[in-house]
Structure 1
Amino acid sequence: MKNEVVSIDLGSNSFRVLKYDCIKNEILAEYNEVVGMADGLVDTGEISKEAQGRVVNAILHSIDEVKYESKNAIAVTTAAMRKAKNSEEVLKYFKEKTGVDFSIIDGKEEARLTLLAVQYALKREKIDSSKFVLLDIGGGSTEIIVNTNDKYEAHSFDFGIVTMTQTYFKYHDLHNDLDIQKEKIKSFLDSLDIDLTDYSFVATAGTPTTIAAIKLGQDFFSYDRNIVNGALVNLKDLEDCLKIFENSSQEEIMKLVGKGRIEFIEVGIFIYRAIFEVLNKKESIVLDDGLREGVAINSCLLNTKC
């Protein structure tokens, strides 16, 4: 089997690369950059030329930083590319310019791979991984996964921090739509006929990790995933963050959340809070591990079987 794999997750807003040791189950190197791939997607239905240029530059920069062969990377892309009318030509352009061959995965596969990463992460953090509800807030979609021992049920909802921010400019409209989404999520959960009282609430992706980091006294530049992993976030922490952003300058907020995330973080918190309310949970476990880790672990497991 291969000792190392490189996985890439190209999301609606973020670009994330991971070099992973299959033997030790350890991260060897990583690269993260906000590329804003879904900018303008709501209005045009296409990935813009500007966004394509940012992605190409990010890929080339990551190759230098992480030191990997582009043709060997296992690269996936999600909601924005699923929705874009020009996805086929865009992915062809990326391959021509960088050598990276992306696969568009659907919501079910995205959920499966993210769940795999979280299961490994919970065991690593010595947290019970038998029963939990997983929330993954993306830029263009939001995944809810209910894990019960070796079985799970998942649903990908057609809203995320980027698309929701770009669709709604007034809080009134945003919160109305969130109420509708809450009903859809509740309907999905009710259909499972499961008592979620004994299920822990686990959250991954940029919004939960940012809130956890701020709670722990970190900012974007001092972010330490090892400290954030396993941190507990509650509703008061969400409200505290909203107050911080309300009373801070753009420069101060950028220091906390990073460039390219300022305009989306507030909506991310509203989504996070909505899930708290639907689940009727008082706290959630936060993990940095997500899709790119799942892609890497999945590849390691497949290589083991070969």
Structure 2
Amino acid sequence: MNNQIVSVDLGSNSFRVLKYDCLNHKIISEHNEVVGMADGLIDTGIISKEAINRVVNAIKHSIEIINYNPKDAICVTTAAMRKASNSQEVLAYLKKETQLDFNIIDGDEEARLTLLAVKYALKREKINSDNFILLDIGGGSTEIIVNTKDEYKAKSFDFGIVTMTQKFLKTHNLHSDLENKKMEIKQFLDSLNLNLSNYSFVATAGTPTTIAAIKLGQDFFSYDRNIVNGATVNLEDLSYCLDIFKNSSKEEITRLVGRGRVEFIEVGIFIYKTIFEVLNKKESIVLDDGLREGVAINYCLKKCKD
């Protein structure tokens, strides 16, 4: 049993649990649920009671499904908890109710752990992992990581699919907002003085994996990460998905993207498209591996050293 670790990632929209085999670096089992933790956060500055209850239920559900001891799990939480003024009370309540002890990590640590997972994933998929730019679109923040051999530069940007959707519903100026973000990202990339054409474009998280899955003929219920991993997505695929969403009923979209993601997926695609434009890339490699895998791998590597 001591070669197994359970990692938990409580994001702004998703709750993800992983049981991982440290010895063989393999996923044993996993569980994902949409909890909408950042719902209303833009307006109120706090995590709502409803969101907390959804998280508690998701945790209890995951313990049943994955069969783990909550006291042994390594748990991280990200942008929504970084932003919320009541995060300490929420975390204390979650610990009392579920015994999961969450650690709020900053954008730099989130980027480091996600990059660790992606490097392992690229090796597994036999894709060259020397020079690449990694995009991680979260619910409350977006990370861009430029990896050059064994070095990397990362920046966490203060927008994600949930927070940007909530802002857009109030102000209706998504595209001017995205233009501003484009300038911010361009500034960061320019400061690194790189020839971007020497870098491949890699994307992780819900939006890229959903688009890759739809392209491959999967829906939310038939989703297979093993087939999605290493798939490529191009700008035409983004337009194709936007078209589908514009012309489908809510039920059809839910079947494709899953409950709790319907209202955010279009904004997610526009964010993804914006990064394509900034990087001047035609396609990106998509991976399902992200923060929770990075948390597990990081723990395994540390355990080997001890």
CA deviation digits over 1:93-132, x for unaligned, max 9? 0000000000000000000000000000000000000000
| Corresponding residue number in structure 2 for 1:29 | 29
Give the deviation of 1:172 after TM superposition: 5.3
Q: 1:116 — aligned with what?
A: 116
Q: What residue identity is the alignment partner of 2:178? A: L
Deviation at residue 48 of structure 1 after TM alignment: 0.3
1:182/1:278 contact within 8 Å kept: yes
Partner of 1:212: 212
Deviation at 1:169, TM superposition (A): 2.0
AA matched with 1:56: V
Shift of 1:196: 1.1
Aligned partners of 2:194 and 2:171: how far apart in 1?
Answer: 33
Q: Secondary structure at the match of 1:168?
A: helix
The match for 1:74 is 74
Equivalent residue, structure 2, for 1:284? 284
Counterpart CA distance in 2 for 1:171 and 1:151 is 39
Q: Please, which runs of 5 or more residues in structure 1 have no aligned partner?
A: none
- Distance in structure 1 (CA, Å) of the matches to 2:238 and 2:136: 16
After TM superposition, the score normalised by the length of structure 1 is: 0.99
| % same residue | 75
CA distance in 1 between partners of 2:305 and 2:237 (Å): 43
Are residue 239 (structure 1) and residue 239 (structure 2) matched? Answer: yes
Structure 1 residue 238: Cα displacement: 0.1
Count of paired positions? 306
Q: Which residue of 2 aligns with 1:134?
A: 134
1:182 aligns with 2:182: yes
What TM-score do you get using the length of structure 2 for normalisation? 0.99
Aligned match of 1:93:
93
Residue 253 of structure 1 is matched in structure 2 by 253
1:102 aligns to 2:130 (yes or no): no
Residue 5 of structure 1 corresponds to 5
User: Where do 5+ consecutive residues of structure 2 fail to align?
Assistant: none
**TM-superposed deviation, 1:170:** 7.2
Aligned to 2:192: 192
Q: CA deviation at 1:171?
A: 8.5
Q: Distance in 2 between matches of 1:166 and 1:172?
A: 10
Task: Quote the offset at 1:2 in angstroms.
Answer: 3.4
Q: Is the 8 A contact 1:2 1:300 kept in 2?
A: no
Q: SS of the counterpart of 2:220?
A: coil
> Partners of 1:242 and 1:119 in 2: how far apart?
30
Is 1:44 the counterpart of 2:35? The answer is no
Tell me, what secondary structure is at the counterpart of 2:173?
helix
Paired with 1:19 and 1:141, the residues of 2 have a C-alpha distance of 25
SS of residue paired to 2:187: helix
Inter-partner Cα distance in structure 2 for 1:235 and 1:252: 22
